[in-house]
A = this chain, B = another copy of it.
Amino acid sequence: MVDAAGNLFLADCPARTALEVIANKWSVVLLFALKDGPMRHGDLVALSGGISRKVLTQTLRRLQANGLVERTAYAEVPPRVEYSLTELGHTLQEPIANLAQWVRTHGEALADFREADA
């Protein structure tokens, strides 16, 4: 098990840093939202249900800095800026979709458990 876990657990390895970028509620929500194509800042605010503009900007910057999301500015009037998944970001679609599917299937069970426990 130590071998299997090693990559993920060592605090100074790239896998661990990558996990810190991805294993974050807003990262998952945004990467899931962007799977269907480019979106504007305002679209992402509306879709994310509760993210503040500040946290959205921070999360998008972190995803950009890690090569998962790209920002494209169109020279239009008014100016238009869109965010989309990079090629690397697209490789995350399957694991994120699996996680989303799990959350859809089992979210209710977690809620039931919390209520029974309360």
**Interface of chain A, main secondary structure:** helix
Chain B's nearest CB lies how many Å from the CB of A114? 6
- A18 contacts B by Cβ under 8 Å: yes
Distance between Cα atoms of A8 and B65 in the complex (Å): 25
In the complex, the answer to whether A47 meets B9 with C-beta atoms within 8 Å is yes
Residues of B within 8 A of A78 (CB): none
In the complex, the answer to whether B22 meets A99 with C-beta atoms within 8 Å is yes
In the complex, the answer to whether A67 meets B110 with C-beta atoms within 8 Å is yes
Residues of B within 8 A of A100 (CB): 7-8
Give residues in A with beta carbon < 8 Å to B. Answer: 1-2, 5, 7-11, 13-25, 27-29, 32-33, 36, 47-50, 65-68, 88, 91-92, 94-95, 98-114, 117
